[in-house]
Amino acid sequence: MGLSFVFLAFFFCQLVCSSSILVCPKHQSISLVKFKETLNVDPSASPRCYPKTNSWNTSRDCCLWDGVICDEMTGHVIELDLSCSQLVGTIDSNSSLFQLTHLQRLNLSWNEFRGCHISPEFGRFSSLTHLDFLNSNFSGQIPSEISRLSRLEFFRLSPSSRTDLRLAAHDFKLLLQNLTQLRELHLTSVNISSTIPLNFSSHLTTLKLGGTGLYGIIAESIFHLPNLETLYLSSNYQLSGSFPKTKWNSSASLMKLDLSRVNFSDNLPESLGYLTSLNSLSLTNCNLRGLIPESLSNLTRIQSLFLQDNSLNGTIPSWMFSLPSLRRLFLSNNHFSGQLEEFKTSSLEEIILGSNQLQGHVPKSIQNVVNLTGLDLSNNNFSGNVDVSLFSNLKNLLGVVLSNNKISLINENKGSFTWPESLNVLLLAACEVKEWEFLRSAKYLWELDLSNNKLQGRIPDWAWSNWLSLITLDISNNMLTSIDSIPLLTIDTIDLRSNLLQGSLPIPPNSTRNFLISDNNLSEEIPSSICNSTSLFMLDLGRNNLKGAIPQCLGTITTLEVLDMRHNNLSGNLPTTFSNGSSLRSLNLHGNKLEGKIPQSLANCKELQVLDLGDNHLVDTFPMWLGALPKLKVLSLRANKFHGSIQPSTMETIFPELQIIDLSQNAFSGNLPASLFQHLKGMRTIDPSKEAPRYRGDTYYKDSITVTTKGLVREIVRILYLYTAVDLSSNKFGGQIPSIMGDLIALHVLNLSHNGLQGRIPPSFGDLSSVESLDLSGNQLSGEIPQQLVSLTSLSFLNLSHNHLRGCIPQGPQSHTFESNSYEGNDGLRGFPVSKSCGDDQVSDTNDTISGPDDEESDSEYWSDFWKAALMGYGSGLCIGLSILYFMLSTGNPKWLVRIIEDLEHNIMMRRRKKQREQRNNRRRNNHF
Ligand SMILES: *[C@@H]1O[C@H](CO)[C@@H](O)[C@H](O)[C@H]1NC(C)=O
Ligand SMILES: *[C@@H]1O[C@H](CO)[C@@H](O)[C@H](O)[C@H]1NC(C)=O
Ligand SMILES: *[C@@H]1O[C@H](CO)[C@@H](O)[C@H](O)[C@H]1NC(C)=O
Ligand SMILES: *[C@@H]1O[C@H](CO)[C@@H](O)[C@H](O)[C@H]1NC(C)=O
Ligand SMILES: *[C@@H]1O[C@H](CO)[C@@H](O)[C@H](O)[C@H]1NC(C)=O
Ligand SMILES: *[C@@H]1O[C@H](CO)[C@@H](O)[C@H](O)[C@H]1NC(C)=O
């Protein structure tokens, strides 16, 4: 566009300039030359442009220079078009540009003024009607002087990329107020952060305010601007609005409307049917619901309809496929249901209907949509056979996405079928594909997804010569049995997970970044030529039978972010060569036969987040030095031969991000590492705003780890970033449980079982408000169960069995979910669920706990006080009743329950006071005697 404008301008100049005799005033050409000299020409800034200023030569009249237009009568420069001129630099306030005071049109678009502020001097061009800074990347605050340009009709500022170009809310209002002649205003991506003012010029035909940070409610008057043709307000995430219910404007002039990602929370209005000139409508992700109104069938000129990412429902009306001009139909990610009718318009180019609840057959009439470039029907309930011949006549087809339906892809008349040469993307996950032959003719594919199909045996040899342009190949979840090599020179991602592949590990081409071949039957050693793939970013070899040592060189591939070799037969030492600058984020070697120590060079892997060395034969002491890794979230050393005590660290911060530490089934001894628990910032704060970190290749690989929770061994996938666990079970730890462990309030799982721990359960455990699974079984713990544990409302698994606990089992909201085996094998626990009731001596037991040495840590909080009172005043029968009530209260919180519980509490308090009075009186009486 820029270029054609240039040519036009040039042509125009030739016409005008050659037909009149112009004399450019000398001071003007001096100004122009000076201006030229303050800027540089950098061809690399925009290679497709050319520098107009190169023709500026003082030996010629300046009115004949490229991009310069003079007034025919006076010779004054009235237009300067330097668009797309490879200019780089700054225009400051004493630039000679500002001496061209007669300028009416100034076009500096498509140049590179990054870091340069827009000078307030621009406000002095009082004759200016056109000012174009599109993609010229000025930065900083736009001066308020711009609003002096009261003759401006065309004002375009939109930067090409995110710069910090901003317009103060106040100046935005001023600008709209003063520029009463404005017809086009383009401020896309300028940071305005304001509400939308009301005083728009009634001449406006184009208003582009997308991504400007506007907030508040869109005044309906915008939709009624009498001459409006283009309105873009998309990507203002804090903006909401409602559609006009009546005619938008009397002339129905609107042609392009983009309100995507603005919150409407509404149905599509009937009134859209009035916009009969509309040729493009974008309402992506606007929180729309309900049916598509019939009135949209009036939009006979519409070419592009983007309604994806909403909650629209009902069937897709048949007239939608008859709109005579429609080219792009995007309805994906809504709740549309029912069957598709046949396509009656052949103008369609893109049909994007993925992620709905559509069903029935894929319409055969697709073969008549001759200009079709993209078809996405994925993630619906389409069924029946789809013959590939449907696509053979669609010569422009770029992508076909049929994944995850209930269809079977078939190829009836075998030999004669060919894919259009244009086809680049073919995604056929779970399409019952059984044979390869129909893919023989697909020679220009970039992306091929055949996952979850019924492919067997080996990939045919022709594939390697026909699929040379492949970038992503996914054949996971099939029944492939062998693969020799993968001679595809440009491939980036190969996914062969969950097949039946045997033999040795195939080496991916050196272009490969993601290679996933886990869950197969590969055996033999890992060849060190795997390290020839120097671009590797993700290597997933888990769940095979690979044996021998891990190639040393793997530690030296600095691009590698994920190395997963879990559940193989690997032996020998870990690589010792992890290099500085390593990108390693996840290292999973769980379930092998690795020996020796953890290599110190792992300290070079500053990006490491997940380290799982569990279930090996490692022999080492606790690697406190790993605490220096700033991002480590998961450390599992379970089931090895680690030993010794965990010594206090001299480091200031250790394991600042750690969320999961699993040291279970080793031979650690000594006291529990209180000094470690003092750190662990990641377990001491609950941050609900925490979001899953995103990585390249995330769509393929999901971190996962095996943890024991709620008495079961499970694999936790993906939620790692939210999950916190400490598992120190089955070691030789002794001494008391440090009360500081109660500070790990973000913990979901705490397992200290099967050690030699002594003393009481710290009342501070009552602070572990997120804990779901607490296992202290198989220790030497004594005393009562602290009353504070009843406040653990998230607790769904509790095991205190096989200790020396005694006294009454505190009754709380969760108590009824625990069976008696949670408590078995103790010295003297009483009460539900072990025995029917906890007798009178319970009062003294409870008092004992309350006045025990640990009491200082326990706040007598409202609820625990309440439960104490409940225990004292009543037998356990009522407690259970109350705990159920409380449970309902904490979940549902109905008002009438609040009343009942308040009444009960009041009664209990009254009884308790009465009892205390009686006890006091008794004591007094006893003293008296
Ligand atoms: C508004 O425009 C007038 C000229 O029409 C000018 O005198 C005045 O300074 C402008 N106001 C602002 C705030 O720029
Ligand atoms: C749509 O067009 C029909 C005539 O085809 C007309 O009766 C109806 O009023 C129009 N609806 C709207 C909302 O413009
Ligand atoms: C569409 O969704 C609305 C709720 O937004 C619901 O009331 C209505 O029954 C749904 N209609 C269909 C056909 O699913
Ligand atoms: C297909 O596209 C071509 C080129 O844009 C156009 O001339 C032709 O009319 C289109 N066919 C249909 C049926 O719309
Ligand atoms: C990849 O291998 C090819 C030959 O097979 C070689 O020409 C190319 O330089 C290699 N690229 C890298 C990045 O090693
Ligand atoms: C790996 O690279 C080395 C040279 O660095 C070369 O000698 C060897 O042949 C390559 N192996 C493979 C399988 O490409």
Integer-rounded Cα radius of gyration of the chain:
37
Pair 437, 415: CB distance under 8 Å: no
User: How do strand 712-717 and strand 374-376 relate by DSSP bridges?
Assistant: unpaired
Predicted confidence at residue 686, as pLDDT, reads 76
Q: Which residue's CA is the nearest one to ligand 2's atom 5?
A: 298
Compute the distance from residue 327 Cα to the ligand 4 centre, in Å. 10
Compute the distance from residue 510 Cα to the ligand 5 centre, in Å. 6
Q: Give residue ranges with CB within 6 A of ligand 1.
A: 147-148, 150, 174, 178
Ranges of the chain with pLDDT below 70: 1-22, 161-162, 415, 688-701, 716-721, 814, 836, 839-929
Ligand nearest to the CA of 373: 4
Nearest to 340 by CA among 309, 365, 323: 365
Q: Name the DSSP letter for residue 589.
A: -
CA 535 from centroid of its chain's CA atoms: 25
CA-to-CA distance for 590 and 610, rounded, in angstroms? Answer: 11
Compute the distance from residue 103 Cα to the ligand 3 centre, in Å. 58
Compute the distance from residue 357 Cα to the ligand 3 centre, in Å. 13
Ligand nearest to the CA of 346: 4
Helices of type H across 73-155:
none
Q: Name the DSSP letter for residue 326.
A: -
Predicted confidence at residue 314, as pLDDT, reads 96
- In angstroms, the Cα distances linking 251 to 227, 228, 272, 276, 838 are 7, 9, 14, 10, 83
Atom index in ligand 5 nearest the CA of residue 532 equals 14
Q: Which residue's CA is the nearest one to ligand 4's atom 9?
A: 347
Question: Is the C-beta atom of 371 inside 6 A of ligand 4?
Answer: yes
Ligand nearest to the CA of 275: 2
Instruction: Identify the burial level of 410 via C-beta atoms within 10 angstroms of its C-beta, where 0-12 means exposed, 13-18 middle and 19 or more buried.
Output: middle
Predicted confidence at residue 593, as pLDDT, reads 97
Ligand nearest to the CA of 510: 5
Q: pLDDT tens, 592-641? A: 999 999 999 999 999 999 999 999 999 999 999 999 999 998 999 999 99
Question: Is the C-beta atom of 273 inside 6 A of ligand 2?
Answer: yes
Assigned CATH for 40-213? 3.80.10.10
Question: Is the C-beta atom of 532 inside 6 A of ligand 6?
Answer: yes
Pair 475, 493: CB distance under 8 Å: no
SS3 420: coil
Give the pTM.
Answer: 0.79
Q: Which helix (H) or strand (E) holds 788?
A: none
Ligand 2: which of 245, 268, 298, 300 to mutate, most ligand atoms within 8 Å of CB? Answer: 298
Nearest to 89 by CA among 142, 130, 51: 51
Instruction: Identify the burial level of 830 via C-beta atoms within 10 angstroms of its C-beta, where 0-12 means exposed, 13-18 middle and 19 or more buried.
Output: buried
The owner of tokens 């769509």 is 699
Q: pLDDT tens, 841-873? A: 433 333 333 322 232 222 223 233 333 333 332
Compute the distance from residue 581 Cα to the ligand 6 centre, in Å. 24
Q: What are phi and psi of 892, to 5 degrees?
A: -90, -40
Compute the distance from residue 92 Cα to the ligand 6 centre, in Å. 57
Pair 751, 728: CB distance under 8 Å: yes
